[in-house]
């Protein structure tokens, strides 16, 4: 017989997330639990997918607030369907592609110039002679996505 709900300990064991974190996620409204007559938490099995989404998103550096906003797009009162998750995924695709691009560039360029303006590496003279990137603003100019560079330039004007 298939168990329809999970205790907090079972959810923690299945998700790899500490019970204290699960309670915190519940307080933030990221996950929901019902209560038994004895006031014990019971999580619908569908919450496991939400916890997994939270865990992976955090590993990618996504804030809990951004995760909360994304999860709020899922339906209330019923288990999200594959189509519901597909809509959430489609909205995150561009953001994830940007993160993948940034991580790839970091991996490939970390030993060379990332445009920080340090000029401490010999190769920086080739990539950023006389710290020309300083005109674009502070930070790792070669690594920041173009929209961020453009927004930073507009903020300085």
Q: What is the mean pLDDT of residues 124-144?
A: 81
Q: What is the mean pLDDT of residues 51-75?
A: 90
Domain with CATH 1.10.1660.10 in the chain: 1-93
How many Å apart are CA 47 and CA 150, to the nearest integer?
39
pLDDT class of 156 with cuts at 50, 70, 90: very low
In the numeric block, which tokens belong to residue 31? 């996950």
End-to-end alpha carbon distance in the chain: 66
| Alpha-carbon 97 to chain mean position | 12
In the numeric block, which tokens belong to residue 52? 């997994």
How many Å apart are CA 15 and CA 120, to the nearest integer?
44
69-113 pLDDT per residue, tens: 988 888 877 788 899 889 888 888 988 898 888 888 888 888 877
pLDDT class of 67 with cuts at 50, 70, 90: very high
The class of domain 1-93 in CATH terms is mainly alpha
Length of the chain: 157
Predicted TM-score of the model (pTM): 0.68
**Residues facing 35 on adjacent strands:** 41
SS3 category, 137: coil
């Amino acid at each position: 017989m298939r168990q329809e709900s999970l205790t907090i300990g079972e959810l923690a064991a299945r998700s790899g997330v500490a019970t204290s974190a699960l309670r915190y996620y519940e307080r933030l409204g990221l996950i929901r639990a019902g209560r038994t007559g004895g006031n014990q938490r019971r999580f619908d099995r569908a919450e496991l997918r939400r916890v997994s989404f939270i865990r992976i998103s955090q590993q990618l550096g996504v804030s809990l607030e951004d995760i909360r906003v994304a999860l709020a797009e899922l339906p209330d009162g019923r288990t999200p369907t594959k189509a519901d998750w597909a809509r959430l995924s489609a909205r995150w695709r561009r953001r994830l592609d940007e993160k993948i691009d940034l991580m790839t560039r970091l991996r490939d360029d970390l030993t060379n110039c990332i445009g920080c303006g340090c000029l401490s590496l010999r190769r920086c003279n080739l990539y950023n002679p006389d710290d020309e990137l300083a005109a674009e603003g502070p930070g790792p100019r070669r690594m920041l996505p173009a929209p961020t560079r453009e927004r930073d330039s507009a903020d300085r004007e």
